[in-house]
Structure 1
């Protein structure tokens, strides 16, 4: 099987430097920055104080620099939010959009500035930061990457999450190693912990197979009684992510979405009780 190397043109890099760079993020994000204090990759989110989704992103350490890999079309919003929280922290946040790019690869890239296994699932391969495109890289490569991501049933970014509405646990961030329940306080921690311990996650982002043409994002999904049970989010090549009420679906059953049918399925990594 040939290497799969994709330039993720929809991603942007910020560099965080300064002695407070790790502690600054530790009080903000859903994951424990200590996990990568000495190197590695971390998946995490920044939430509202009410525990609602704002941004998800990846963090990588390399020497005295912490790299933040985020959605390009929301990078300005994220920068403003980080600057709002920075206060007196001794940290500099630099926009490296013109200098660095994000690569998804099926193998490690030796010449990358940073390259680590995707912290969500090993099947997603490696994420790398480079200053130039590697040999054999598909650019732009988001479509090919999305095909892989959707095939594994993974929600990502605002193509799937709904800003100021979705909860981190609804986006399966616990199963995908994006939330740490043993770290100290962070923004939205109380609601996230309460949701976890009550065990009541009524909605989830679940993968669906599409029979027919791909409906538009936010198209309602209905059951045989024409009752809305969720909405479609991102999709491609007969695969999509849906935001559904768990109590109203059965995995493997067919539902309507416009003129097409959608069939929810449960990946091996997803921990969710089926409501039958």
Structure 2
């Protein structure tokens, strides 16, 4: 199945300084990125909170950064501010290149970048002749594969550990060197286990990104968690949400509706 990812912006970064520039901005090891692979990166502010999650792809000497469109201006302005005198050209190519989400083996002659075992991303200039499935299928796969997302409403709400980006260093490298927020993220990592993690849930009502999770027994002064991404299917809603680990299997409600945890781990 192939889905057109209409709500994502694609930015191309080029120039002789582009690789070291991105290495100093994003949380993952850009120097280790190979062609044909999607690398998940957190773009953090100085306190370690994630401004945006970006998918980085490499093609020849250029890098392509995919992210939700509602954060495109924020990220583009920040990248432009930090590049200063570096030889880096930042171009929004969303009108030239269409982003497609591919599930499993359905490639229809495309050359995708692998996101995980079931999902890939293709960048194409012509979509004629491609049979598209609906966006809910892609979102359901993202939730099943626990692919996090950050939107404008949740920007600067999470540190990487809350979204499980530190597990197997899927979105954070602890050996690559400095980037904005690196000291805070590394300190949290070496201090021990994160108190909040991302988990998958389902319920019978519609939910929205940014909705708060409530656990009756929690002593936290904040909500016990927050919806990260979600999709409404015919009979139920699926979501990824952060939750206090100590209460992840307790009775959890969202908008006064009980959530049921989906055990993928």
TM-score norm. by structure 2 comes to: 0.86
Alpha-carbon offset, residue 108 of structure 1: 6.9
Shift in alpha-carbon separation, 1:68–1:187, aligned structure 2, 3 A: same
Count of residue correspondences: 256
Q: Counterparts of 1:182-197 in structure 2 under 5 Å?
A: 182-197=175-190
CA contact (8 A) 1:11 1:101 kept: no
Tell me the equivalent position of 2:239: 240
Shift in alpha-carbon separation, 1:241–1:127, aligned structure 2, 3 A: same
CA contact (8 A) 1:208 1:264 kept: yes
CA contact (8 A) 1:35 1:42 kept: no
Report the Cα distance in structure 1 between the residues aligned to 2:35 and 2:238, rounded to whole angstroms: 37
Partner secondary structure for residue 30 of structure 1: coil
TM-score norm. by structure 1 comes to: 0.83
Partner secondary structure for residue 122 of structure 1: coil
Is it true that 1:154 corresponds to 2:151 in the alignment?
no
Report the Cα distance in structure 1 between the residues aligned to 2:207 and 2:113, rounded to whole angstroms: 35
Partner secondary structure for residue 239 of structure 2: strand
Tell me the equivalent position of 1:130: 124
Report the Cα distance in structure 2 between the residues aligned to 1:45 and 1:137, rounded to whole angstroms: 32
Partner secondary structure for residue 146 of structure 2: coil
Q: Counterparts of 1:260-271 in structure 2 under 5 Å?
A: 260-268=257-265
Structure 2 unmatched ranges of 5 or more? none
Alpha-carbon offset, residue 164 of structure 1: 1.7
Tell me the equivalent position of 2:137: 144
Tell me the equivalent position of 2:162: 170
Partner secondary structure for residue 132 of structure 1: coil
Tell me the equivalent position of 1:271: none
Shift in alpha-carbon separation, 1:108–1:62, aligned structure 2, 3 A: farther
Report the Cα distance in structure 2 between the residues aligned to 1:204 and 1:254, rounded to whole angstroms: 16
Shift in alpha-carbon separation, 1:79–1:122, aligned structure 2, 3 A: same
Alpha-carbon offset, residue 246 of structure 1: 1.6
Tell me the equivalent position of 1:12: 9
Alpha-carbon offset, residue 222 of structure 1: 3.0
Tell me the equivalent position of 2:205: 213
CA contact (8 A) 1:205 1:244 kept: yes
Partner secondary structure for residue 151 of structure 2: helix
Is it true that 1:63 corresponds to 2:60 in the alignment?
yes
CA contact (8 A) 1:154 1:207 kept: no
Shift in alpha-carbon separation, 1:39–1:230, aligned structure 2, 3 A: closer
Partner secondary structure for residue 77 of structure 1: helix
Report the Cα distance in structure 2 between the residues aligned to 1:39 and 1:154, rounded to whole angstroms: 18
Is it true that 1:230 corresponds to 2:230 in the alignment?
no
Structure 1 unmatched ranges of 5 or more? 269-276
Report the Cα distance in structure 2 between the residues aligned to 1:206 and 1:151, rounded to whole angstroms: 10
Query: Quick check: 29-38 or 7-16, which moved more?
Result: 29-38
